[in-house]
Amino acid sequence: MQMLNLAQQDFLGEAFCNLSEIVTKFNHSLTLNLRNGSGHALQGTMIVHAEETASSRMAVEMTFHCLNLDNKDTFSKSDPFLRVSRLSESAVAIPICKTEVINNNLNPVWRPITLTSQQYSSRDDPLLVECFDFDASGDHELMGALQTTIAQLENLYKSKAGANFYSRKGQKKEKVQHTFLDYISSGFELNFMVAVDFTASNGDPRTPQSLHYIDPSGRLNSYQQAILGVSEVLQFYDKDRRFPAWGFGARTPQGSVSHCFNLNASTNDCEVVGFEGIMSAYSSTLYSVSLSGPTLFGPVINKAAEIASHSAQYGNNRYFVLLIITDGVITDEQETKDSIVRASDLPLSILIVGVGGADFTQMRTLDADLGKRLQSSTGRVATRDIVQFVPMREVQAGGQVTVVQSLLEELPGQFLEYMRTRGIMPRPPQHASAPPAYPPPPPQL
């Protein structure tokens, strides 16, 4: 087969879109206007169609254990956990799964993990399995690693890599299950919500050193980057594109400090239209409130949980996603844990972006993605992990995975866990005569 030399071909145009735009369209087809390299419209369109292969419904369940791990702690034994990543063609490690942490144990056996073919791609694609000693600060110490494939793990074996690190695939089962796309295709929605930190620790918005500084040149600050990145992806899963948006930690024009106020300055409606509405309301709020404190998460989480609870009473086809962007340490840590534990029973996930250089140890505790599920002040344990925390500075420093990719990494799994544990099934496929879920986007000249 002769390879084409692109340099010798005539350029006809280009088009860009998010995958979410395609999979939320009727029949998973999207028509895009072709543009030149400067963004101006050209004659012609491109139709993009997405299909989910039958193999993508397969899942593999595996059990890992380690033997004779090197002890990294001085006064006790290590607290190991595993992280499984898929290696891309460019050798970038993309995390797809983590085990729970097993405390004080050098011969751990973890609970079975389930990997879908969407996660591991192909049985012959390389996987990186890393063993870490857990640290509450997030600075986990690598204990060893190995590279393998699903095909290799299907044959029972023992392989040595690093400092006395062994991994073994034990009992293996394959099963067919409904996918995230099955639910989205049958009319289920992800409803986006956002809460922005307006506490004084962000710095005076009028100064360039502030995390809230609006650059006249158009360069986005960290808050704007997080809002734009996440909302651009999730907006297509929300049919009416009306998003509840709140601020917290500021003194409002009414004269009192509020820990949950409507970003659009309305007294009776917290919704704005599209990500453009969020960005506009955020900018306007910076000039209408006084940054104050303290930093409280409980009120906005309770508000989001109230909306999710009310919706669940009248149907089960909506799942809510709350994005919280913050710069610092929260004052109401236990109240926040209580709110998250209560919300773990609801169709709700919470994404937290940490901006600036603060100590985010508390946020990692809230994340609880290593088997240490949150516990309320009454002793109740969260029914599932619903929080994903990403410190923007660490992701940007790594440069391999974007903040948005890191934030949304666990969302499909959290959505599916909620649906499956409650026996909620996808609806029958829509009829061919059904109208498209969204109008095509207008051309941007």
Strand order in the sheet with 257-258: 257-258, 250-251, 290-291
Short-list 378, 377, 375, CA closest to 366: 375
For 190-231, what is each residue's pLDDT tens digit? 999 999 999 999 999 999 999 999 999 999 999 999 999 898
Domain 55-176: assigned CATH number: 2.60.40.150
Residue range 5-23: mean pLDDT, rounded: 72
Which of 188-197, 242-251, 264-273 is predicted least confidently? 264-273
d(CA 394, CA 384): 26
Inform me whether the pLDDT recorded for 146 exceeds 80.
yes
d(CA 92, CA 287): 42
Q: What pTM does this model have?
A: 0.74
Inform me whether the pLDDT recorded for 20 exceeds 70.
no
Cβ neighbour number for residue 312 with a 10 Å cutoff: 17
d(CA 62, CA 109): 11
Largest distance between two CA atoms of the chain:
72
For 407-430, what is each residue's pLDDT tens digit? 888 898 899 999 989 999 998 765
Q: What per-residue confidence (pLDDT) applies to 162? A: 36
Inform me whether the pLDDT recorded for 151 exceeds 80.
yes
Domain 181-421: assigned CATH number: 3.40.50.410
d(CA 439, CA 445): 18
Q: Are strands 348-354 and 387-391 parallel, antiparallel or unpaired?
A: parallel
Short-list 329, 286, 262, 266, CA closest to 198: 286
| Of 321 and 413, more confident | 321
Domain definitions of the chain by residue range: 11-49, 55-176, 181-421
pLDDT grade, residue 406 (50/70/90)?
Answer: confident
Inform me whether the pLDDT recorded for 160 exceeds 60.
no
- Please give the DSSP secondary-structure letter assigned to residue 375: B
Q: What per-residue confidence (pLDDT) applies to 164? A: 38
pLDDT grade, residue 349 (50/70/90)?
Answer: very high
d(CA 388, CA 369): 8
| Of 38 and 157, more confident | 38
Domains 55-176 and 181-421 share a fold: no
SS3 311: helix
Q: What per-residue confidence (pLDDT) applies to 114? A: 82
d(CA 173, CA 189): 31
Inform me whether the pLDDT recorded for 395 exceeds 80.
no
Cβ neighbour number for residue 137 with a 10 Å cutoff: 9
pLDDT grade, residue 174 (50/70/90)?
Answer: low
CA distances from 293 to 194, 199, 248 (A): 18, 5, 8
| Residue with token string 């002890």 | 71
For 98-108, what is each residue's pLDDT tens digit? 888 898 999 99
Q: What per-residue confidence (pLDDT) applies to 282? A: 97
SS3 405: helix
Residue range 254-283: mean pLDDT, rounded: 93
| Of 336 and 362, more confident | 336
Q: What per-residue confidence (pLDDT) applies to 207? A: 95
pLDDT grade, residue 56 (50/70/90)?
Answer: low
Give me the phi and psi of 428, to 5 degrees please.
-60, 150
Inform me whether the pLDDT recorded for 287 exceeds 50.
yes
Cβ neighbour number for residue 273 with a 10 Å cutoff: 14
Inform me whether the pLDDT recorded for 351 exceeds 60.
yes
In single-letter form, the type of residue at position 146 comes to: L
pLDDT grade, residue 402 (50/70/90)?
Answer: confident
Q: What per-residue confidence (pLDDT) applies to 95? A: 82
d(CA 256, CA 106): 53
State how far Cα 391 lies from the chain centre.
12
- Here the tokens at position 310 are 């009310």
d(CA 59, CA 173): 8
SS3 18: coil
Q: State the average pLDDT for the chain.
A: 83
Percentage of the chain with pLDDT > 70? 82
Which of 246-250, 308-312, 364-368, 396-400 is predicted least confidently? 396-400
d(CA 192, CA 275): 10
Max mean pLDDT among 7-21, 186-200, 351-365 falls in 186-200
Q: What per-residue confidence (pLDDT) applies to 340? A: 97
Q: What per-residue confidence (pLDDT) applies to 39? A: 66
pLDDT grade, residue 156 (50/70/90)?
Answer: low
Inform me whether the pLDDT recorded for 350 exceeds 70.
yes
- Please give the DSSP secondary-structure letter assigned to residue 65: B
Q: Exposed e or buried b for every residue in 238-250, given b needs 16+ CB within 10 A?
A: beebbbbbbbbbb
Inform me whether the pLDDT recorded for 253 exceeds 70.
yes
Residue range 382-402: mean pLDDT, rounded: 79
Give me the phi and psi of 65, to 5 degrees please.
-145, 160
Q: Exposed e or buried b for every residue in 52-80, given b needs 16+ CB within 10 A?
A: eeeeebbbbebebebeebeebeeeebbbb
Give me the phi and psi of 73, to 5 degrees please.
-100, 155
Percentage of the chain with pLDDT > 90? 44
Residue range 50-67: mean pLDDT, rounded: 75
Short-list 285, 293, 289, CA closest to 194: 285
Q: Exposed e or buried b for every residue in 153-163, given b needs 16+ CB within 10 A?
A: beeeeeeebee
Q: Exposed e or buried b for every residue in 167-177, given b needs 16+ CB within 10 A?
A: bbbeeeeeeee
| Of 202 and 39, more confident | 202
Inform me whether the pLDDT recorded for 9 exceeds 50.
yes
